[in-house]
Structure 1
């Protein structure tokens, strides 16, 4: 077996990471000690997000966020990064990877990697923050869902009811400690972190579930899957209350708007749709699908590429197999930004809750925090 770099050596890459030989998929599973030395991340002052028409180099007087530099590179994962989330307070970032690790980062300053959450035995496909930023949920290919305490960096819950890969998880945006997960076993499960038992509820479908989230409150769960359908479940009635049809391939990401009235969905047919979830549609509206965003692509890797809303619901974003992150105007559907930088598929994107910052992660093992210019 060839000698490989230690975790410390692997994480000592700065801007040279752009010239490393980056594989799309790491075929090895890493088993490492829980003792991790944490180092500062790279800042790149002359690489900035761009829109689809122009490239501009920002000066100090052009700055619109509190990032140390217009673009920050967070390099530390040893394999493809599948999920990245900024916490609701806007202070920290959590990233999840094929390397079985969840890394915790600071948003500001040098974006230091201040924590590592270890415990999953296979790739981690999605993470989500609790509304008070105190906990993180994770979904893994090891068939488990976990809940972590951010302060102690310890796992406080692990649920093993799923029979196959768990693709997605989401914590309730407000209220009780509820969590929803979706799996290749065809089930969507609702969990209560306060209870020491199995899933509170299980919703069965005929196809693998690839993306989940809560609706406007804990009384509604939304799921998407292999059949290209988006299902809205009424938790109180234990039944489907609405089915959204339009995608022609696997749903890879779903995201609820901040006001809870609209849903953003992404699919492997390279379509991104906005849906109206309000119980009663306006008189002049005949379809719940109100916008189609074009530009982002899915590739042969068939990754679960996620999507996101900005905090004010004015913009939506998606990763893409063409190595770019895309941002559109949510109302007009016009493409506002096409952000380069990654050297592999961009698998997830996330907006900062207050500042004009977008986070992205990719199959190139990298995470970017980018400041958006002209982002009103």
Structure 2
């Protein structure tokens, strides 16, 4: 059964080549880093630019929000990492981090850490509470390290994607990789972890035009996604919807079912090559960075699928998470005014592999 996801374009802005995108967790902001050396913050509600600043004369390949500090951190081809206060635009820190282009910066979800990866084949860990000291160097790749990302289910570990055709899994505090995933025919450009449910999965995208889903416990390839006609530059498991998103230099974004791996949709907005995809937990929005600009889309139903029976029990689907409440738990003596929110305890029933689309009524 197809997902029948509604997809609406919510923001479109032409610009120079976008190398990375990020979504702010509380503000309606998109962060874009550009090949021209600039970083821009767009308000997707007002469709206006909030901030724009020159970072370097060379490409800025990665920039991320550090919202708990009200910072932006950026890594550029001049080998420097820069941190800015996004309210005052003041530079918090500028330092030379690598001996070659910086491909990626990744922010630890809770600790004061930033990971950086580079064409010098190294990954470095920086602690901003210690004056941005480099507290660890991870060596092991034999080509450019294109992306690093923390495991949201175990934030002491992270994955790295490299043009040496491998993906490596590391632990903070250990200098050597825990293990290596090797299966692509060409370099690996991107990697992302599965955030929902219990599956210990990650996804990689490669210059061989395929994306691979891996089980990092059994260290085996679960599925290969084929269909793109050029290098895959961005991949993600959507945190709210049961879908995988892949972006490619063929100009398309493909949406796959994350359980059946069936291709659900192909998007082409005519902005040339796709370079980056951004998403955020708790949101159905997705941002795509292209050669010629930035697009934001919103996916999924606005109205939840819900059902109520004669006993007062309501069951509904929040994406593919199933929840329930019992209205009779309020009690007969509770006075309700029209439009008032009832104090009900929501019970989690778990998640389902299918994406609920409708409720079948039982008339018996």
- Interval containing the TM-score (normalised by the shorter chain): 0.7 to 0.9
Matched, 1:118 2:45: no
Task: Name the counterpart of 2:201.
Answer: 262
Match of 2:294 among 339, 348, 367: 367
Q: What CA distance in whole angstroms lies between the structure 2 residues aligned with 1:183 and 1:168?
A: 7
- In the superposition, the TM-score normalised over structure 1's length comes to 0.72
Q: What CA distance in whole angstroms lies between the structure 2 residues aligned with 1:261 and 1:150?
A: 35
Matched, 1:325 2:264: no
Task: Name the counterpart of 2:224.
Answer: 292
**127-136 or 266-275, larger mean C-alpha shift:** 127-136
Q: Deviations over 1:282-315 (max 9, x none)?
A: xxxxx5222222223425xxxx712222122621
Is 1:258–1:313's contact at 8 Å kept on the other side of the alignment? no
Task: Name the counterpart of 1:19.
Answer: none
- In the superposition, the TM-score normalised over structure 2's length comes to 0.74
Task: Name the counterpart of 2:127.
Answer: 192
Match of 1:340 among 268, 271, 292: 268
Is 1:134–1:151's contact at 8 Å kept on the other side of the alignment? yes
Q: Deviations over 1:104-125 (max 9, x none)?
A: 01132x3211011332231011
Is 2:203–2:235's contact at 8 Å kept on the other side of the alignment? yes
Is 1:73–1:368's contact at 8 Å kept on the other side of the alignment? yes
Matched, 1:223 2:223: no
Matched, 1:91 2:28: yes
SS of residue paired to 2:164: coil
Larger radius of gyration: 2
Q: CA RMSD in A?
A: 2.7
Task: Name the counterpart of 1:32.
Answer: none
SS of residue paired to 1:194: helix
Q: What CA distance in whole angstroms lies between the structure 1 residues aligned with 2:203 and 2:230?
A: 16
Q: Deviations over 1:86-133 (max 9, x none)?
A: 12236211001111111001132x321101133223101122233648
Task: Name the counterpart of 2:353.
Answer: none
| Change in 2 beyond 3 A, CA 1:155/1:258 | farther
Is 1:88–1:133's contact at 8 Å kept on the other side of the alignment? no
Task: Name the counterpart of 2:114.
Answer: 179
Q: What CA distance in whole angstroms lies between the structure 2 residues aligned with 1:133 and 1:349?
A: 23
Q: What CA distance in whole angstroms lies between the structure 2 residues aligned with 1:73 and 1:204?
A: 40
Q: Deviations over 1:30-73 (max 9, x none)?
A: xxxxxxxxxxxxxxxxxxxxxx999xxxxxxx9x79xxx74421
Q: How does 1:107-146 map to 2 (within 5 A)?
A: 107-108=44-45, 110-130=46-66, 132=68, 134-146=70-82
Q: What CA distance in whole angstroms lies between the structure 2 residues aligned with 1:140 and 1:91?
A: 25
Match of 2:216 among 277, 280, 287: 277
Which protein has greater RCO, CA pairs closer than 8 Å, 6+ apart? 1
| Change in 2 beyond 3 A, CA 1:265/1:374 | same
Moved over 6 A (4+): none
Name the structure where strand makes up a greater proportion of residues: 2
Q: Report the number of matched residues.
A: 298
| Change in 2 beyond 3 A, CA 1:217/1:195 | farther
**86-95 or 255-264, larger mean C-alpha shift:** 255-264
Q: CA deviation at 1:243?
A: 0.7
Is 1:159–1:198's contact at 8 Å kept on the other side of the alignment? no
Q: What CA distance in whole angstroms lies between the structure 1 residues aligned with 2:220 and 2:162?
A: 19
